[in-house]
Amino acid sequence: MKIVLTTVKEASVTIKDKMVGYIKQGFLLLVGFTDGDDKEIVEKMVDKILSLRVFPDENGQINLSLEDVNGSILSVSQFTLYADTKKGRRPSFVKALRPGEAEPLYDYFNNLIEMKYGKLSTGVFGADMKVTSINDGPFTLVLDSKELF
C-alpha cells in the first residue's frame, strides 16, 4: 500500500462538474494498493497516518498531529502510484492491484479512518476525478507499507 500525504489548507474532488468531497485544513491522501496488501496493512497505515505529527506548533516546530489542529482528511484512490516507468515511454500498471480487490481495501481504509477519527471526505473509486488543493508548506510524504512494516 502506498499513500502520498500532503498537508493542505483546503482540497476538493470534483466529478463531472459536481464537488463530491471537500475539506479545509488537513491531509490530502492519494491511496494505492498492490499485491499482498490486506486489512492488516490497511490498519497499520491508518494508525500511522493518524499518529503523524506534521503540523507546526506555535514555535514553528513540526510537532502537531491532525487531531491537534482539528484537521480533516480527503482520501482519493490512485492506482497510478504503482506505475512502472522503467521501460519505454508509457507507464505500466501491472503492479497496481486490480479494481475488484483494491476497492474493498479502499473502502475498509476509509471506514477505519471514519471510525477512528471521523473527519473524512472521499473521492469515488475508479471515477475520473478532478482533484484540487492548496498545499500547506508544501509538506508531502510518501508512505509505503513495504518500507514501513
Report DSSP letters for 68-129, one per residue. TTT-EEEEEE-GGGG-B-SSSSS-B-TTBPPHHHHHHHHHHHHHHHHHHT--EEE--TTS--
Q: How confident is the model at residue 115 (pLDDT cuts 50, 70, 90)?
A: very high
Task: Report the domain count for the chain.
Answer: 1
Q: What is the average per-residue pLDDT within 89-102?
A: 97
Percent of the chain with pLDDT over 70: 100
Mark whether 78 is an active-site residue: yes
Which is catalytic among the residues 78, 85, 93, 149? 78
Residue 138's pLDDT is what?
Answer: 84
Indicate the average pLDDT of the chain.
Answer: 97
pLDDT score for 40: 98
**Catalytic site includes residue 25:** no
Q: Please report, for the domain that includes residue 17, its CATH number.
A: 3.50.80.10
Q: What is the pTM of this model?
A: 0.97
Per the structure, the complete domain to which residue 46 belongs is given by 2-148
Q: Which of 27, 33, 55, 79 is catalytic?
A: 79
